[in-house]
Chain A
Amino acid sequence: MNGIHDLGGMDGFGPVPYDGGESETFHERWEGETYATFVATLGNRFASIDEFRHSIERMPPDFYLESSYYDRWVTALTRLLVENDAIDPEAFAARAEAFEAGNAIVPEYEEPDMLGRLAAGVADSYATDADEESPSFSVGDAVAVRNAHPDGHTRCPRYARRARGEVVAHRGTHVLPDARAHGRDGAEPLYQVAFDGAELWGEDAEPGVSVTLDLWESYLKPADAGTEGER
């Protein structure tokens, strides 16, 4: 989907809030708890990593931009857990109000084997392995990114569409995020494709810049195929 998350090449977001290279930690305890809730959601196989990313992308654009990073995670996890009947939305809403009012505490429950089990589920949710498909493109091929605008999840950034680049590596066959984000099976050859800066950003592009992307086969076509008949 052409969502607000697809930020490459946009203008107007101002300076980067660079902090001088300090090591990153969770700034507050709830951010770490959010990470643990993410581990529980993927680890219990309520959602794949692609469904999680897509759940973030489904936030209304204004809300995406005004939310902090882990706030977006909480919203995305809530959506997935409700949609998969892992939690009851009424019970959730009531509990959230209780916490806001200071009338609830997180229950204690110890289970030493839990994290290992969850970690295995998380690893599965990220797994990209698939039976090898024979690749249509080879290293050195000139390719063009299809001008496709799917409604659902995709890992093809908008700024690369219609651009011509060169295949610099074949990465093997990887699970297709566009499929897994919607509960479907699918895997395709994955390629590293390099684009010249001027191809992406026009004649005023900074000189001496290239951008590489990892793109699945269905995102690409031969560069000499032209643009007519584009689906």
Chain B
Amino acid sequence: MTDADEDEFDPDEHAREHDPEARVRALQSLLIEKELLSSDAVDDVIATYEDEIGPLNGARVVARAWTDDAYRERLLEDGMAAASEVVDVDGDAIDLEVVANAPDEHHLVVCTLCSCYPWALLGLPPTWYKTPAYRSRAVKEPRTLLAEEFDTDLPSDVEIHVHDSTSELRYMVLPQRPPGTAGMDEDELVDLVSRDAMIGVERLGGGER
């Protein structure tokens, strides 16, 4: 492509001048007119992310791992295959590595280059996860970031492992099972698993496993 081919159209300059809502509706309209997109596909995509795929998927996987040691091993070995045993997700949707917190280890997930995220298990990434503030600091000063921005104060003897998602392999944190939950069944445990604990900005549990 040369500039002459496109009559000097510059998408960045155009975008600076025009509202993104109007621009995406223009794209969408032209694609629909060419039958490269359909109205029902648009509605389905939105509904899928609003109603179907969300952090509840990940929470179910974590709760199962807390209650079934053999499952936990499978989950750490092959994340998506194990996840698809528990929730209705395609085991090939993403490559997933589950990283397990321990009394002296804490894992934190970031994508410094864009916004890579284990969406099949956690849904849409939260807005803050995609901001320059989070992406810039998570790799350089994770301890300070967790304390200042998320009220997650880690003892100095807990090592922090930051996973910068540079490939198509996506990371999810397996938090520790919180103390005082020995009598709870899997469904009750699901409610304790927060999205933020599976990203690693929150830490559940203390010394157990």
Question: Which residues does A use to contact B, with CB under 8 Å?
Answer: 5-11, 13-19, 21-30, 32-37, 39-40, 44, 53, 56, 58-60, 63, 65, 67-71, 74-75, 77-79, 81-83, 86-93, 95-100, 104, 106-112, 114-115, 118, 126, 128, 155-157, 159, 171, 174, 190, 194, 200-201, 205-216
B64: CB under 8 A from chain A?
A: no
- Return chain B residues, CB-CB under 8 Å to A128: 95, 167-168
- Return chain A residues, CB-CB under 8 Å to B126: 19, 22, 24
Query: Smallest CB-CB separation from B134: which chain A residue?
Result: A16
- Return chain B residues, CB-CB under 8 Å to A14: 133
Query: Smallest CB-CB separation from A23: which chain B residue?
Result: B54
CB–CB A37/B28 < 8 A: yes
Q: Which residues in chain B, 1-27, are within 8 Å of chain A measured between CB atoms?
A: 1, 6-7, 9, 11-12, 14-16, 18-27
- Return chain A residues, CB-CB under 8 Å to B156: 207-208
Stretch at the interface among B41-49, B67-75, B80-88, B176-184: B41-49
Summed over the interface, the residue pairs from A and B with CB atoms below 8 Å come to a total of: 304
Alpha-carbon separation in the docked complex, A7 to B134 (Å): 9
B160: CB under 8 A from chain A?
A: yes
CB–CB B40/A8 < 8 A: no
CB–CB B49/A77 < 8 A: no
CB–CB A211/B139 < 8 A: yes
CB–CB B139/A92 < 8 A: no
CB–CB B38/A110 < 8 A: yes
Alpha-carbon separation in the docked complex, A30 to B23 (Å): 10
Chain B: interface size category: 35 or more
How distant is A51 from chain B, measured CB to nearest CB, in Å?
Answer: 13
Q: Find A8's partner among B1, B14, B140 (CB 8 Å cutoff).
A: B140
Alpha-carbon separation in the docked complex, A44 to B39 (Å): 16
Alpha-carbon separation in the docked complex, A28 to B54 (Å): 18
B103: CB under 8 A from chain A?
A: no
Alpha-carbon separation in the docked complex, A36 to B28 (Å): 8
CB–CB A106/B132 < 8 A: no
B208: CB under 8 A from chain A?
A: no
How distant is A76 from chain B, measured CB to nearest CB, in Å?
Answer: 8
- Show 14 A/B contacts (Cβ-Cβ < 8 Å), sorted by A: A8-B140, A26-B50, A32-B45, A32-B50, A39-B45, A71-B15, A82-B9, A96-B23, A100-B22, A106-B32, A155-B166, A206-B141, A209-B142, A213-B166
- Return chain B residues, CB-CB under 8 Å to A22: 126
Alpha-carbon separation in the docked complex, A209 to B161 (Å): 6
CB–CB A208/B136 < 8 A: no
